Structure 1
Amino acid sequence: MALNACYRLTRCVLQVAESRTVAVRALASRSRCLYRQAGVSADLWTRSFSAADQPAVSVTYEQIKKLLVTRSGVVIDVREPWELREYGSIPGSINVPLGQVIAALQLKPEEFKEKYGGEMPMVGERLIFTCLAGVRSPKALEAAQSLGYSK
């Protein structure tokens, strides 16, 4: 019986992950499976399987461009430097590899700028994390939220 429930949960999680409509999040908070139903929004799926209070928000390239032009937030790319060289990056984004996010967001603003080449985001400022496949950016978001970043 328990094995059957585990199988259903695994199958359900894989369906969500394969659909790529939601960010893959830490799946530790819920143990029951929600069956995919017609009309279920991506937001509901994210909330159903997320340990965070607020689900990750997906943004379009145009929204990121507008944010960078108006300087109303900071875009942090959490990929490794070699990935930026191989696949390119969003102009105006700051590269902070995932393993350094917590330490980077605790630096003094001058140290952050010297090490990463961009202005350090303030706690109340809007943050957007990017990566290649959408796996690392939710982890970076959770790390930032643990340090008090909320937007």
Structure 2
Amino acid sequence: MLARLVLGTSGRAALGSVEPALGGLKSIWRCSQAFCSTPKGVTYRELKSLLNSKDIMLIDVRNTLEILEQGKIPGSINIPLDEVGEALQMNPVDFKEKYCQVKPSKSDRLVFSCLAGVRSKKAMDTAISLGFNSAQHYAGGWKEWVTYEISEEKQES
């Protein structure tokens, strides 16, 4: 039926010419599904666990004023979005001097956060384009973090 729709004909010759193409498309589709399904976002629970294990560098990409006014996730460092690309390409001495942290290597696990996930996604994409292939982002951002933290505090008291 697909051969008829695609080629407007029927018969073995048409099927014979379509089957290899369909096989190739199926192969491409499977590969793209595997690539696209690679998890690049972390949940609140995953982030809490990673922070407790000290297995990540959490980078808050909001501007400094936002962080001063709203607060930040404990353990995060601030590198505003417009500085991320430059910061990840700095030499280690300059990075340490500016951000008071050891510069991450390309194999280190980076997680980016912001207010609600838009800027952190951009920062993650920048990091990946620079070879930081383990980069992820916390899509819930500060808004979600605060909501969960308040909820957990209420449950504990």
The 1:63/1:99 distance shift into structure 2, 3 A limit, reads same
- The corresponding residue for 1:146 is 129
SS in 2 for 1:139: helix
SS in 2 for 1:75: strand
Per-residue CA distance 1:49-99 (angstroms, 9 max, x = gap): xxx966663323332232223221211100000000111001111100000
Q: How high is the TM-score relative to the length of structure 2?
A: 0.58
Per-residue CA distance 1:20-48 (angstroms, 9 max, x = gap): xxxxxxxxxxxxxxxxxxxxxxxxxxx99
Aligned residue identity for 1:120: K
- The corresponding residue for 1:106 is 89
For the 8 Å contact 1:77–1:96, the answer to whether it is kept is yes
Distance 2:117 2:70 in 1: 15
Aligned residue identity for 1:61: Y
- The corresponding residue for 1:91 is 74
Larger proportion of helix:
2
Distance 1:59 1:99 in 2: 22
| Gap runs ≥5 in structure 1 | 1-46
1:60 aligns with 2:16: no
Aligned residue identity for 1:92: G
Q: Percent identity?
A: 47
- The corresponding residue for 2:61 is 78
Distance 1:88 1:137 in 2: 16
| Gap runs ≥5 in structure 2 | 1-31, 135-157
Moved over 4 A (4+): 52-56
For the 8 Å contact 1:56–1:138, the answer to whether it is kept is no
Bigger CA radius of gyration: 2
